[in-house]
Amino acid sequence: MMSRAERSHLGDWWWTVDRALLAGLGVLMTAGLVFLMAGGPPVAERLGLPTFHFLNRQVMYLLPTIALILAVSFLSLRHIRRMALVTYGLGIVLCIAATKYGPEIKGAHRWIQFGSIGVQPSEFVKPAFVILAAWAFAEGARRRDMPGGTLAVLLLPMTIVPLILQPDFGQTMLVTMVWCAMVFVAGLHWFWVGGLGGAGLIGVAAAYEFLPHVRARIQRFMDKDSGDNFQTFWSQESFNSGGWLGTGPGEGVAKRHLPDAHTDFIFSVAGEEFGVIVCVAIVLLFAFIVMRGLVLARRSDDIFCRLAITGLTALFGLQACINMAVNTRMMPAKGMTLPFISYGGSSLISLALGMGFLVALTRRRPRTTLLNRDEGLAH
C-alpha cells in the first residue's frame, strides 16, 4: 500500500486517480475476454484459423491497451491538449487518405493498411475531437477575444465531412450526438440546440436519399421482409433461446450463423450463452462508468475538464448504447463495436486513448494547478 506522504509520480498518481473508474474498466475488459471465448471460436473455424485465434489476439491487444490507459492518465492538462491536437490532425489526414487508398470493405473505405496492420483512423479522431471541442468551448467562455464558440462549430464539419466521404454514417451520427451533448453542457442558447437538431434530421434524410447502403439498412429495419435480415434475425433469436439464464458457455447456436459474432454482435452471443441477467449486469456496468464520469465532471471546477469529461463519457456511453440497441433490434445495423468487449485492435487502442484522457482529466488536482493550466500554451 502506498503512503500518502510518498511524493513520487506514482504515489501522486495513485492518490489522485479515480480507482472506481479504473476498476470498472478492468471488469469490462475481463468480461470481454470471457464473451470472446464464446463468440470467437465459430468465426475462427469458418475462416480456417486456430480455435482461439481471436481470443489470443485480443489478449495481445489488451497489453498495449492497458499500458496506454495508464501512460495517458499521467498527462497534465496541457499535454492532453497537445496530444489530442496531434492525434486529430494525423487522424483526419489518414481518414482522407483512406477514402482514396484504403481497401473497400462492405462498400466503404474506412481502413488504411500499414503493411499487414490495418488501422481505422476515425476511431482515433473521436476522442481527440472531444478534447479539442472542449478546449474551444472553454477558451470561448474564459476569454472574450477568443472566438472559441465559432472554432468549436467549425470543428464539427471538419470532422464529419471525411467520415461522410468514406462513407461512415454511424460514426458521423455518434460524433454529432456527442458534440450536441457538449453544446448543451457548454450552455449555448437553445436556438443553437434546436438548430442542431433540425440539421441532424436533414442529415438523416439526405443520407437516406443519397446513400444506398443507408437506405437499405433503414428499409430492412422498418420492414424485415424488405431485404437480407440474416444477422438481425439471428441476433434476436439468440436472446429468445438464451432466456434469463442462458444455454450455458459453448452451447449457443446463433453464433454459428452470425458472421460478426466476435465483433458487432458479441452482445447477442452473451445473451444466448449467459442469459439476459448477465446482459443486464453488463448494461449496469456501462451505466456505472458513465454515471461515474458524469459525477466527476459535475465536481470539476475547471470548464475545460468538465466539458471534456462529459464528451468522453458521452462518446463511450453512446457507442455502447448503439451497439446494444442494434443487437436487440432497436436500431438499424451500424457496424459499431461494443467498447472493450468486441474484438478489434483499432477499437481497443482508440478506446484506451479516450479512457486514458478520461482518467487523466478526472484526477484530483490542486486548485493552483488549475489556475496555472494555460501556462504552457503561451510558450
pLDDT tens, residue by residue, 191-200: 666 776 677 6
Q: Contact 39/269 with Cβ under 8 angstroms? A: yes
Burial class of residue 294 (count of CB atoms within 10 Å of its CB; 0-12, 13-18, 19+): middle
Query: pTM of this prediction?
Result: 0.87
Give the per-residue pLDDT at 166. Answer: 85
* Pairwise CA distance, residues 205 & 313, whole Å: 28
pLDDT digits (tens, 9 = 90+) for 210-267: 666 666 666 666 666 555 566 677 777 788 887 888 888 877 887 787 778 888 888 9
Lowest mean pLDDT segment, chosen from 170-174, 256-260, 294-298: 256-260
Residue with the bigger pLDDT between 158 and 111: it is 158
Q: What percent of the chain has pLDDT over 90?
A: 38
How many C-beta neighbours within 10 Å does residue 86 have? 11
H-state helical runs in the chain = 9-16, 19-46, 53-73, 77-101, 122-142, 148-165, 169-186, 190-210, 212-222, 230-242, 266-299, 303-327, 345-361, 367-371
pLDDT category at 376 given cuts 50, 70, 90 is very low
* Pairwise CA distance, residues 328 & 323, whole Å: 9
From 306, 275, 6, 266, select the one nearest 131 (Cα to Cα). 306
Residue with the bigger pLDDT between 113 and 271: it is 271
Lowest mean pLDDT segment, chosen from 5-9, 286-290, 322-326: 5-9
* Pairwise CA distance, residues 91 & 159, whole Å: 10
pLDDT digits (tens, 9 = 90+) for 342-363: 998 888 999 999 999 999 999 9
Lowest mean pLDDT segment, chosen from 85-99, 251-265, 315-329: 251-265
- Average confidence score pLDDT of the chain: 84
Residue type, 52: F
Q: Give yes or no for residue 378 having a pLDDT over 90.
A: no
- Supply the Cα-derived Rg of the chain in whole angstroms: 21
Q: Map grid coordinates 462518446 to a residue.
A: 315
State how far the alpha carbon of 281 is from the alpha carbons of 27, 244, 272, 274, in Å. Answer: 11, 12, 14, 11
Q: Contact 58/30 with Cβ under 8 angstroms? A: no
Lowest mean pLDDT segment, chosen from 61-75, 96-110, 228-242: 228-242
Reduced to 3 states, what is the DSSP secondary structure of residue 105?
strand
Reduced to 3 states, what is the DSSP secondary structure of residue 117?
strand
Give the per-residue pLDDT at 377. Answer: 46
Q: Contact 124/162 with Cβ under 8 angstroms? A: no
Residue with the bigger pLDDT between 260 and 371: it is 260
Give the per-residue pLDDT at 5. Answer: 55
Residue with the bigger pLDDT between 344 and 314: it is 314
How many C-beta neighbours within 10 Å does residue 209 have? 10
pLDDT category at 148 given cuts 50, 70, 90 is confident
Q: Contact 338/328 with Cβ under 8 angstroms? A: no
Q: What are the sequence ranges of the domains in the chain?
A: 18-362
Angle 190-210/169-186 helices, nearest 10 degrees?
Answer: 170
Give the per-residue pLDDT at 344. Answer: 84
Q: Give yes or no for residue 293 having a pLDDT over 90.
A: yes
Q: What percent of the chain has pLDDT over 70?
A: 84
Q: Give yes or no for residue 122 having a pLDDT over 60.
A: yes
Give the per-residue pLDDT at 296. Answer: 94
Residue with the bigger pLDDT between 131 and 249: it is 131
pLDDT category at 170 given cuts 50, 70, 90 is confident
Lowest mean pLDDT segment, chosen from 45-59, 203-217, 275-289, 294-308: 203-217
pLDDT category at 7 given cuts 50, 70, 90 is low
